[in-house]
């Protein structure tokens, strides 16, 4: 028996490879499982975008190598239309859910919550382990849909009925769609198990002296993310189960008055708009489930590397809270063109534009944290600054899209693609990269290669803007998204060269991510070894554990906390750790 200083004994059975690395209940190992699974999915999902960009840039050319690998999906070396829609559907599903939700929250909530609040592990290590294995199962089910003869789901990542509700609608609406729904159900179970664990751990297992207002902003962000997930994911689960019923039990939740190939279907009384409401009630909070953890990671990395206290700590917490509340009140701005009452639309326009206020508060506070700081340009810091750049430039176009009158003009064009890829996709990835470069030494006891990190940052930053900025112009010219071939429209032919340019930038960006993956796995085994406990001179508790902490994190007693996480450049000292007692004559935050 071992005692943790709080009178709680721990019995450590003999560990085997299976219990330590496969069915582990140690939050740090589970975090790495989420991270590596997420990285594998990121490669698959981004490679899909390379494939459909090839089709958009060279619609009249054949690539025989595609037929070698994809078989009848690329007959004659050209991607087939039904497979093109499958690719777009899987690309969206994989990156939104499996990488930026599972990969980002799963990794950093698991890794940082116990370490930064001073806990031995999660509230329930068993549920934590199950949350990963449900995520893994969901991954296997989704991946298997790529291997069946009728192909993966192809109704878009939103899977709107009636396309997704009728098996006879197209090839991708057959078994692939069922696998998509089952995979999402398993994924939602994983998210709920994780989220309940994160919330209960943060509320109940903080070490002595760690009041809520002394928590690092990373923990606040992960806390609100988990709350969002717990409240919104069950709605998508119900939506998906009703869709499954419509497909196999003859119900009509989403179907009414439908004719397929001259045959009138018996379904009556349902409405596809109901599915849209259920989907977007998760779908919009989902955007913030993705971006809030990135905001938390960026706040921490920025304060540490600017050697300054984070500016406006309580305003930062307040704006996270405001975003969490408003995230639930704006879902119908995705439905301005669904025939919604314009007066109701006006209500959603107002709430949508209001969310710009807490977002702007965060941006001003990040910029003010950087202002006159003694900035250390580590790869993590560059990605954190890049995140703010992407968040501003991507967020500004949201003001256009939030106005229903403009949205009706540019909805379902490349303008929307440009907006949400910059503000949600690329920004969230930048937050994730900042977190990986910054906490990698804590995860593996080694550093990642900085030179490769700098190449990764500047290349990715450049490519991201080269890919998505031009799409705004295509969108304003009304180029519709999800189209397979634009050659039939003379008005869109002017963008042929631009499409080739964007595709070239996409391939370059993909190669740069492979460079990052190489750096990551190479550094685990061959990176420069960590020699000090606290390589970045940070204040938070995770840097007080041993270089390679075991299960339980601290070998002796858990340290006590006496101050907030951001005492940098104070009283003539570079940094003061959270564990250092406060002097009586010290001005305390």
Judge whether 542 and 445 are in contact, CB under 8 Å: no
What ranges in 205-271 are assigned the alpha helix state H? 217-248
Q: What is the per-residue pLDDT across 564-583, written as a single tens digit (0 to 9) for each? A: 999 999 888 999 999 999 88
Q: Is 456 left (phi over 0), alpha (psi -120 to 50) or beta?
A: alpha
What's the token pair of residue 88? 């777009």
C-alpha separations of 109 from 3, 64, 430, 453, 514 in Å:
26, 44, 17, 23, 25
> Cα–Cα distance between 377 and 25 in angstroms, integer?
36
pLDDT at 584: 77
Q: If one looks up domain 23-256+264-552 in CATH, what number appears?
A: 1.20.210.10
Query: What percent of the chain lies above the pLDDT cut of 70?
Result: 97
Element (H, E) at 428: helix 427-444
> Phi and psi (nearest 5°) for 501?
-60, -45
Confidence band of 14 (pLDDT split at 50, 70, 90): low
Q: Where are the domains of the chain?
A: 23-256+264-552
Omega before residue 555 within 30° of 0, cis: no
* pLDDT over threshold 90, residue 254: yes
Reference 331, options 266, 236, 408; nearest CA is 236
What's the token pair of residue 458? 């500047």
pLDDT at 340: 87
> Cα–Cα distance between 342 and 346 in angstroms, integer?
6
Element (H, E) at 330: none
> Cα–Cα distance between 345 and 138 in angstroms, integer?
36
What's the token pair of residue 270? 């349902």
pLDDT at 20: 76
How many residues would you count in the chain?
589
Query: What average pLDDT does range 62-79 have in this prediction?
Result: 92
DSSP 72: G
Element (H, E) at 153: none
Q: Which residue has the higher pLDDT, 469 or 7?
A: 469
Query: What percent of the chain lies above the pLDDT cut of 90?
Result: 89
CA dihedral 464, 467, 471, 472 (to 10 degrees): 30
What's the token pair of residue 286? 């989902």
C-alpha separations of 437 from 215, 297, 394, 447, 534 in Å:
22, 11, 23, 8, 14
Q: Which residues contact 34 (CB under 8 A, 6 or more apart)?
A: 102, 103, 106, 107, 110, 132, 135
Reference 379, options 463, 305, 481, 322; nearest CA is 305
What's the token pair of residue 370? 């950087």
pTM of the model: 0.94
Reference 128, options 435, 551, 558; nearest CA is 551
Query: What average pLDDT does range 174-200 have in this prediction?
Result: 97
* pLDDT over threshold 60, residue 288: yes
Judge whether 369 and 306 are in contact, CB under 8 Å: yes
Among 11-25, 114-128, 476-490, 529-543, where is mean pLDDT lowest? 11-25
Q: What is the per-residue pLDDT across 471-524, written as a single tens digit (0 to 9) for each? A: 999 999 999 999 999 988 999 999 999 999 999 999 999 999 999 999 999 999
Reported in sequence order, the residue ranges of 522-585 that DSSP labels E, i.e. its strands, are 568-570, 573-575
Beta-strand relationship, 263-264 and 259-260 = antiparallel
pLDDT at 494: 92
Residue 6: HSE in the Cβ half-sphere, 13 Å Cα cutoff: 14
* pLDDT over threshold 50, residue 7: no
pLDDT at 253: 95
């Amino acid at each position: 028996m071992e005692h943790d200083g709080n009178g709680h004994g721990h019995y450590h059975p003999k560990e085997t490879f299976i219990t330590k690395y496969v069915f582990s209940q140690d939050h740090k190992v589970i975090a790495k499982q989420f991270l590596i699974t997420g990285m594998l999915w990121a490669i698959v999902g981004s490679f899909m975008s390379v494939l459909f960009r090839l089709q958009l840039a060279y619609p009249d050319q054949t690539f025989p190598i595609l037929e070698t690998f994809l078989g009848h999906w690329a007959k004659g070396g050209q991607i087939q239309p039904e497979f093109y829609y499958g690719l777009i559907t899987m690309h969206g599903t994989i990156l939104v859910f499996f990488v930026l939700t599972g990969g980002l929250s799963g990794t950093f909530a698991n890794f940082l919550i116990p370490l930064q609040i001073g806990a031995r592990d999660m509230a329930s290590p068993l549920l934590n382990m199950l949350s990963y294995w449900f995520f893994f199962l969901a991954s296997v089910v989704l991946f298997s849909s790529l291997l069946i003869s009728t192909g993966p789901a192809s109704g878009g990542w939103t899977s709107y009925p009636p396309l997704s509700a009728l098996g006879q609608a197209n090839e991708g609406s057959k078994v692939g769609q069922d696998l998509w729904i089952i995979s999402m159900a398993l994924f939602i179970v994983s998210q709920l198990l994780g989220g309940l664990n994160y919330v209960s751990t943060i509320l109940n297992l903080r070490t002595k002296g760690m009041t809520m207002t002394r928590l690092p902003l990373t923990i606040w962000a992960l806390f609100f993310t988990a709350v969002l997930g717990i409240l919104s994911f069950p709605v998508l689960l119900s939506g998906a189960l009703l869709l499954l019923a419509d497909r196999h039990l003859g119900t009509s939740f989403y179907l009414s008055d439908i004719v397929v190939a001259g045959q009138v279907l018996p379904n009556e009384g349902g409405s596809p708009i109901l599915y849209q409401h259920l989907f977007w009630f998760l779908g919009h909070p989902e955007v913030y489930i993705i971006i809030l953890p990135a905001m938390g990671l960026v706040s921490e990395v920025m304060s540490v590397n600017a050697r300054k206290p984070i500016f406006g700590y309580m305003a930062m917490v307040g704006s996270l809270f405001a975003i969490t509340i408003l995230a639930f009140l704006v879902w119908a701005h995705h439905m301005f063109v669904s025939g919604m009452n314009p007066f109701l639309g006006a209500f959603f326009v107002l709430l949508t534009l209001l969310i710009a206020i807490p977002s702007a508060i965060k941006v001003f506070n990040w910029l003010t944290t950087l202002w006159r700081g003694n900035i250390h340009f580590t790869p993590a810091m560059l990605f954190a600054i890049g995140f703010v750049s992407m968040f501003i430039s991507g967020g500004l176009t949201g003001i256009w899209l939030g106005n229903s009158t403009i949205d009706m003009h540019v909805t379902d064009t490349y303008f929307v693609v440009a907006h949400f890829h910059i503000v949600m996709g690329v920004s969230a990835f930048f937050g994730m990269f900042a977190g990986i470069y910054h906490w990698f030494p804590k995860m593996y006891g080694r550093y990642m290669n900085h030179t490769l990190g700098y190449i990764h940052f500047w290349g990715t930053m450049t490519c991201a803007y080269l890919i998505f900025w031009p799409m705004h112009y295509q969108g304003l010219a009304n180029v519709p998204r999800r189209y397979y071939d634009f050659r039939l429209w003379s008005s869109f032919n002017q963008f042929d060269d631009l499409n080739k340019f964007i595709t070239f930038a996409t391939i370059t960006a993909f190669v740069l991510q492979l460079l990052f993956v190489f750096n990551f796995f190479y550094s685990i085994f061959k990176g420069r070894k960590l020699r000090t406990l606290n390589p970045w001179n940070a204040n938070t508790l995770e840097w007080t554990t041993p270089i390679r902490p075991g299960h339980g994190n601290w070998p002796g007693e858990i340290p006590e906390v006496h101050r907030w996480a951001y005492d940098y450049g104070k009283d003539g000292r570079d940094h003061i750790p959270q564990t250092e007692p406060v002097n009586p004559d010290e001005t305390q935050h």
